[in-house]
């Protein structure tokens, strides 16, 4: 049996604003432990005890075109070898994403068991999770569609539930019913009955079984995905389904498209099974969830970064850029970033989405991007700005290369802080070393490269009548932007 991890890493995660934003969503953040949520998910099955003859394949990821270089770089940092990344031209929910993954997995010549994991979950007991995956893979190899049901710890109204049906081996059950998010009284009854599990959105399904069931339950989605995949293009490790075809694909989730439809046909068909999972799972859907799973001090506080407290209890504080001092607080969430600070009562934290809505309504950049912006070649941080100037700190990775470009409205002055820059300026090419500078006049064709083995760090001073990022005319770009 070939076990194929499939990591679903789309989504924007704006409920964790201001850390998570559209251009840098929560799966790319380090919120629990030493790895980002994406990295932790990609590594989650490493070390799993396999039966003789079984093989654990390299992860297959389905993600947003916009995050492709960030995803690839994060996987490189943790040594995930040769991952395949399917780039969705647009978001169409999890059912189309899994269909593309199943087609890609079968294109390698096997019919693997797919372990489908969202990239934005935290699982603290990873050994318990791996044991559950082994059990789920055995059921999936028999042709069942397997979901993991999280053992509930509270009458949670924010999750869907799974009603357990007839028992299978080792605690697994058939699924009798999927139920929607309940009200508080219903959630209390579910918890008291002991027969319900949270729907955690993690699945184990054989590739051929998923494709067959998609054709049975949602032939419109299956047809669109098949056509988009047949017209795919391969760009290094990036697999690109046809954009036009996929854009016309209906949007639906794995649950609604297939599993719930099959469960409604009757649990006695034995097609949909659930494996109970008790692995300290969280989908980190809000800041309050991060407080719940975090390591707490004597006052029940979860503190990250440079934080001091006096007479403060049951509070989450994340300080990214500055010292945060808290006095006399209780049940509060404080998240500090270089360009925005969130302060909220922990019981009202779900309303952060209303703040994001206001930011979008006012077309403010804080809704979608950070002050520090990542690019395929490295990153830049806008450290100061005024009416006709902007100052950026720029770091270019070894071998990194910005596009050959020009600007209609601004000139640029580059000062090298460390490393060596290779600069194309009009018809000339020059090397600029530490403590040296160069000037790029308005309208001049130019490019910046790092030919060295160490990061290149520079200060860029822009001046002109318009300093927006859309004043870039690209002529050549090794990253295909």
pLDDT value for 269: 67
Sign of CA pseudo-dihedral 224, 480, 454, 392: negative
Residues 274 and 314 in one domain: no
* Residue 314 resides in a domain: yes
Residues 341 and 381 in one domain: no
Residues 21 and 65 in one domain: yes
> Coil, strand or helix: which one is 181?
coil
pLDDT value for 66: 82
Regarding beta strands 113-118 and 122-123, do their DSSP bridges make them parallel or antiparallel, or are they unpaired?
unpaired
* Residue 127 resides in a domain: yes
CATH number at residue 384: 2.60.120.10
pLDDT value for 67: 87
Residues 337 and 431 in one domain: no
> Coil, strand or helix: which one is 143?
coil
- Whether omega before 374 lies within 30 degrees of 0, making that bond cis, reads no
The domain boundary, picked from 338, 361, 384, lies at 361
Residues 428 and 306 in one domain: no
pLDDT tens digit sequence for 73-127: 899 899 987 778 999 988 899 999 999 999 999 988 889 999 999 999 999 999 9
Residues 466 and 422 in one domain: yes
Which residue, chain included where needed, has tokens 């999890």?
94
**Which residues, in sequence order, are CB contacts of 242 under 8 Å at separation 6+?**
227, 228, 230, 231, 232
* Residue 410 resides in a domain: yes
Which H or E element spans position 421?
A: strand 421-425
pLDDT value for 313: 98
CATH number at residue 71: 3.90.550.10
Distance CA 152, CA 317 (A): 27
* Residue 79 resides in a domain: yes
Distance CA 34, CA 31 (A): 8
Residues 115 and 39 in one domain: yes
Q: Which residues pair with 424 in a beta bridge?
A: 429, 447
Rg (CA), the chain: 25
Q: Which two tokens stand for residue 464?
A: 């002109």
* Residue 367 resides in a domain: no
Residues 381 and 415 in one domain: yes
pLDDT value for 33: 84
Residues 311 and 165 in one domain: no
* Residue 75 resides in a domain: yes
Domain total in the chain: 3
Q: pLDDT below 50 — which residues of the chain? A: 267-268
Residues 376 and 427 in one domain: yes
> Coil, strand or helix: which one is 127?
helix
* Residue 481 resides in a domain: no
* Residue 288 resides in a domain: no
Distance CA 313, CA 335 (A): 16
Complete DSSP assignment for 358-371: HHHHTT-GGGT--S
pLDDT value for 203: 97
Residues 357 and 419 in one domain: no
Distance CA 152, CA 253 (A): 22
Expressed as residue numbers, the domain containing 330 is 293-361
Q: Which residues pair with 425 in a beta bridge?
A: 428, 446
The greatest distance separating any two alpha carbons of the chain, rounded to the nearest whole angstrom, comes to 76
Which one, of 394, 391, 411, 420, lies nearest residue 466 by Cα?
Answer: 411
The domain boundary, picked from 361, 395, 414, lies at 361
Asked if 74 and 28 touch (Cβ cutoff 8 Å), the reply is: yes
The domain boundary, picked from 259, 282, 305, lies at 282
Residues 448 and 426 in one domain: yes
pLDDT value for 325: 98
């Amino acid at each position: 049996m070939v076990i194929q991890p499939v990591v679903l890493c789309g989504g924007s995660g704006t409920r964790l604003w201001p850390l998570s934003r559209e251009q840098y969503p929560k799966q790319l953040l380090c919120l629990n432990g030493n790895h980002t949520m994406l990295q932790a998910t990609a590594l989650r099955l490493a070390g799993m005890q396999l039966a003789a003859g079984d093989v654990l394949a390299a992860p297959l990821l389905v993600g947003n075109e916009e995050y492709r270089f960030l995803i690839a770089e994060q996987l490189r940092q943790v040594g995930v070898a040769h991952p395949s990344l399917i780039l969705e031209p647009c978001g169409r929910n999890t059912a189309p994403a899994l269909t593309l993954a199943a087609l890609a997995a079968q294109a390698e010549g096997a019919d693997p068991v797919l372990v489908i994991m969202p990239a934005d979950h935290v699982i603290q007991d990873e050994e318990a999770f791996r044991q559950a995956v082994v059990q789920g893979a055995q059921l999936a190899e028999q042709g069942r569609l397997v979901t993991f049901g999280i053992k509930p710890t509270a009458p949670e109204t924010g999750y869907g539930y799974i009603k357990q049906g007839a028992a299978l081996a080792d605690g697994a059950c058939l699924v009798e019913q999927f139920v929607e998010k309940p009200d508080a009284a219903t959630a209390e009854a579910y918890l008291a009955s002991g027969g319900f599990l949270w729907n955690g959105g993690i699945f184990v399904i054989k590739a051929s079984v998923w494709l067959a069931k998609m054709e049975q339950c949602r032939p419109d989605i299956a047809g669109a995905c098949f056509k988009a995949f047949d017209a795919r293009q391969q760009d290094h490790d990036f697999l690109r389904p046809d954009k036009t075809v996929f854009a016309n694909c209906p949007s639906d989730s794995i649950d609604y498209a297939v599993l719930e439809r099959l469960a409604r046909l009757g649990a006695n068909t034995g097609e949909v099974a659930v494996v109970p999972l008790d692995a300290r799972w969280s989908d980190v859907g809000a800041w309050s969830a991060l407080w719940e799973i975090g390591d707490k001090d004597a006052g029940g506080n979860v503190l990250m970064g440079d934080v001091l407290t006096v007479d403060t209890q049951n509070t989450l504080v994340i300080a990214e850029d500055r010292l945060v001092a808290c006095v006399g607080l209780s049940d509060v969430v404080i998240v500090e970033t270089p360009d925005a600070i969130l302060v909220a009562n922990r019981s009202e934290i779900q309303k952060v989405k209303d703040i994001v809505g206001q930011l979008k309504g006012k077309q403010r950049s804080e809704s979608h991007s950070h002050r520090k912006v990542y690019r395929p070649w490295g990153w830049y941080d806008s450290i100061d700005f005024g009416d006709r100037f902007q100052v950026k700190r720029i770091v270019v990775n070894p071998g990194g290369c910005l596009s050959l470009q020009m600007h209609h409205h601004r000139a640029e002055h580059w000062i090298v802080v460390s490393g060596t820059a290779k600069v194309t300026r009009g018809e000339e090419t020059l090397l600029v070393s530490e403590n040296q500078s160069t000037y790029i006049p308005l309208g001049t064709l130019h490019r910046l490269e790092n030919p060295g083995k160490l990061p290149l760090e520079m200060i860029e001073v822009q001046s002109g009548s318009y300093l927006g990022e859309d004043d870039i005319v690209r002529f050549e770009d090794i990253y295909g932007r």
